[in-house]
Chain A
Amino acid sequence: MKQEYIISAYSENHIGLLNRMTIVFTRRKVNIESITASESAIKGIFKLTIVVNDEKEKVINITKQIEKQVDILKAFYHTNDEMIFQEIALYKVPTKALMETDQLEKMIRQHNARILEITPEYTVIEKTGHKEETQELFNGLTEYGVLQFIRSGRVAITRSPIEKLSEFLIQRDALLAKI
């Protein structure tokens, strides 16, 4: 059964590594729903978060193939309910719409969104949440004319009390000491 999985990979910061990782998906014709990359809590180690919609077997296989890459420290896969995750969306609407009716202001309040910038021509609204939530606001705003819309990739954190990577790095050091 296909469902959404979050693959998180920790890597050394090397040029081309993102390419090496995405090739693993391309080769198996698996679509990447979203991808984010940034430095982790540990200096020099990057964290990549990739969302895919596929069968568990395939996700396990992909996770192993990612981890097999020499510069990847470790890769994990999780279902959505095993992680707390968030996306951010930005919406640009005409300021005129905001002035003409108070509906727009209400909508922003109801969705817990906030305004980042107001100019005479446009207003930029920001909302964080799951895709359905940012989509819902988008649907509401279309009535007033959305000039621009962008949604980020997913960032996710596990529900376990400590970062899995720290645990992993301790084990890894022990392994390396034996080599």
Chain B
Amino acid sequence: MTAKEKETKRSKQQNVEISGSEAVIRSLIEEGTEIIFGYPGGQIMPIYDALYDYRNVLRHILTRHEQGAVHAAQGYARATGKTGVCLVTSGPGATNLITGIADAMIDSTPLVCITGQVASPLLGSDAFQESDIIGISMPITKWNYQITSPDEIPSTIAKAFYIAATGRPGPVLIDITKNAQVGKFKYKYAKCHKIRSYIPEFPVNKEKLNQAADLINSAKKPYLLYGQGILLSRAEKELKQFIEKTGIPAAGTLLGLSAIKTNHPLNMGMLGMHGNYGPNIKTNECDVLIAVGMRFDDRVTGNLKTYAKQAKVIHIEIDPAEINKNVKSDIALLGDAKRILKLLHLLAEKKKHLSWVNEFKDAHEIEMKKIISSDLNPETLGIGMAEVVNKVSELTNSSAIIVSDVGQNQMAAARYSKFATSRSHITSGGLGTMGFGLPAAMGAKLGIPDREVVLFVGDGGLQMTIQEFGTIAQEKVPVKIVVLNNRFLGMVRQWQELFFEKRYSFTEIFSPDFVKVAAAYGIPGQLVNKRKDLNKALQTMLESKGSYIVEVMVEKEDNIFPMVPAGASVSDILLCVNDIKSSN
């Protein structure tokens, strides 16, 4: 259809009455939706019926579980920067979304989740598959709304997309009663551009901006922490220019990874509990700490009482509720990271902090000697997670989107993947949702089909959403799956070893032969037991056109180091097991 034909069709359509269901589909198309992740059921059937007529315009991915749908939508959103869309039925369909919505809320991922609901006269009657999803999802959505009349559909969907994607992004849920789906009305769509009670982004305070620039210009040991806010505001270029001009060393949070190239000379690595040595200890040695688009999560700060007390803190953040929530800032710059970094760049003086940067390099040397070199070239017979991750990074020339599940596999993936481009690392940060990986990788690949997507997942997490093999097979999503199988719930086991006297309470886990399970779905793969077979197996996987699984039997009781034990100070980061024993 040409643009003109489309326009005539549209204007014709505006004068006739359509069903609420068709209005939902057309509203989604208006918002640029390309893919819906969903699962049909009784109370959403009218919308699925309307979707049938638009199946060539809107791609629908039938997942095997609603949790799979929401994680896939998250993966899609995180990889593309667009809003992920889910469509599910009422009752259990809706409640199965909850984990993913909570995950998206804490990790600021834009989602629009549409749930079916019983007809409005039945609301509150404990009707079949009725659940109070509005009440249930209230604490974990940025906004939610129940539609009971078809004419509310266009404006509510417009509002939902606006709220989900602007300001600090987040998940929005729209619950649509069956009568609103089948009712007819005159459809007209208008995008939402503002809401009286909602200011997504406050204008930059010039006075504070100048104060921040003065502080940065007079700093002897400035240090910048970048979070996911850089990716969300697309401020990668501005961040790079700012640190290059000012010579300030920078480190990223788990979700901030890939905002700057891993091997950028001023990128010092990752913060946090299992982050790099230098980035953690230097937090308590810098004189000015510039935090951009991050929220001082407890996994980053460790004990707040001893966190960066010596430093003046500049917090650049879009969400006013994050200011002074965990760490008191001396200067809070409210607003969009991209805009603020651009302005700061103009005010900042060109500098080099060579000896300060070298301190990070010295710390890196220590970490290299004590951890990284043995992680990458272990003396153990068993394969280590780090060497697998590192090998994938080498073989893909750091060009892949790395998706990880949660636990040791996640930390190995974050520590040892190298990133060359932005939006290359997708993981469940704040909520730490096991089972996130497989569906998220699928969503990421569907969003960015041109890029290689490699998933690192543990034997525990994979079994939480393993049913999505079915979706990957049906939709032919060429995701590359690397299972790091240590026959344990590894991270919990690590804590049990270190802090619970090796009392391995219910962490040993039986798994099926994952390669055979995948084969049953028609996904090829191979098992790797020996180090010498690793390279070839990964190569085969990466050369494969379709989806492929490599299950690597890794060392059973490996630990992830360094580690800031929960509640400890970032300066007390531990480099090996013996450190823990001596600190006890």
Name A179's contact: one of B135, B142, B146, B193 (CB within 8 Å). Answer: B193
A64–B139 alpha-carbon span in the complex (Å): 15
> B135 — nearest CB in chain A belongs to which residue?
A19
Alpha-carbon distance between A78 and B202 when the two chains are bound, in angstroms? 24
CA distance A73 to B197 in the complex (A): 4
Is B354 in the interface zone, CB < 8 Å from A?
Answer: no
Q: Which of A19, A20, A64, A176 contacts B196 (CB 8 A)?
A: A176
Q: Is B61 an interface residue (CB 8 A)?
A: no
What residues of chain B lie closer than 8 Å to A176, measured between beta carbons?
194, 196, 199
Q: How far apart sit A19 and B138, CA to CA, in the bound complex (Å)?
A: 8
CB distance from B147 to the nearest CB of A (A): 12
Interface size on B, as a range, is 20 to 34
* Pairwise interchain contact A175-B199, C-beta atoms closer than 8 A: yes
B202 CB contacts on chain A under 8 angstroms: 175
Q: Taking the complex as formed, is B203 at the interface, i.e. its CB lies under 8 A from any CB of chain A?
A: yes
Does chain B have a CB within 8 A of A71?
A: yes
Tell me which residues from 56 to 85 in chain A have a Cβ below 8 Å from any Cβ of chain B.
Answer: 60-61, 64-65, 67-68, 70-73
B193 cross-chain contacts in A, Cβ below 8 A: 179
Known contacts A19-B135, A20-B138, A23-B139: A172-B196 contact under CB 8 Å: yes
> Which residues does chain A contribute within 8 Å of B200, judged by CB atoms?
179
- Cross-chain contact A179 with B194 (CB below 8 angstroms): yes
- Verify A70–B138 contact, CB threshold 8 A: no
A43 part of interface (Cβ distance < 8 Å): no
B196 and A68 form a contact (CB under 8 A) = no
Does A27 interact with chain B (Cβ within 8 Å)? yes
Given A16-B138, A19-B135, A23-B139, residue A67 in contact with residue B195 (CB < 8 A):
no
Q: Are B139 and A61 in contact (CB under 8 A)?
A: no
From A44, which residue of chain B is reached at the shortest CB distance? B196
Chain A residues near B515 (CB, 8 Å)? Answer: none
| Interchain CB contact under 8 A, A67 and B321 | yes
Contact B143 A23 (CB under 8 A): no
**Interface residues as binary, B199-213 with A (CB distance below 8 Å gives 1, 0 otherwise):** 110110000000000
Distance in angstroms between the alpha carbons of A64 and B324 in the assembled complex: 11
A178 to B321: give the CA distance in the assembly, Å. Answer: 22
Q: Does A87 contact B (CB under 8 A)?
A: no
Q: Which of B138, B163, B200 has the most CB of A within 10 A?
A: B138
Report chain A residues within 8 Å CB of B197: 11-12, 70-73
Quote the shortest CB–CB distance from A40 to chain B (angstroms): 13
Given A64-B321, A65-B321, A175-B203, the answer on whether A70 and B135 have CB atoms closer than 8 Å is no
B320 interfacial by beta-carbon distance below 8 Å: yes
Contacting pair A67 B320 (CB below 8 A): yes
What A residues does B196 contact at CB under 8 A? 12, 73, 172, 176
B367 CB contacts on chain A under 8 angstroms: none
The interface bits of chain B over 507-547 (1 if a CB of A lies within 8 angstroms of the residue's CB, else 0) are: 00000000000000000000000000000000000000000
Q: How far is the CA of A179 from the CA of B134 in the complex (A)?
A: 29
Taking CB atoms, residues of chain B closer than 8 Å to A23 are: 138-139
CA–CA, A27 and B106, complex, Å: 15
Complex partner residue of B195 from A11, A61, A70, CB under 8 angstroms: A70
Distance between Cα atoms of A12 and B159 in the complex (Å): 15
Bound Cα distance A165, B51 (Å): 45
B506 interface hit (Cβ, 8 Å): no
Are B142 and A27 in contact (CB-based, < 8 A)?
no
Q: Which residues of A contact B324 (CB under 8 A)?
A: 60
Nearest 5 CB-CB pairings of A with B: A64-B321, A70-B143, A73-B197, A68-B321, A23-B139
Using a CB–CB distance below 8 Å, which chain B residues touch chain A? 134-135, 138-139, 142-144, 146, 163, 193-200, 202-203, 319-321, 323-325
Q: A23-B138, A175-B202 are in contact. List 9 more A-B contacts (CB 8 A).
A: A16-B134, A65-B321, A67-B321, A71-B198, A73-B196, A172-B196, A176-B196, A178-B203, A179-B193
Q: Could you jot down 12 A-B contacts, CB within 8 Å? A: A11-B197, A15-B146, A19-B135, A20-B138, A23-B139, A64-B325, A68-B319, A68-B321, A70-B142, A73-B197, A172-B196, A175-B202
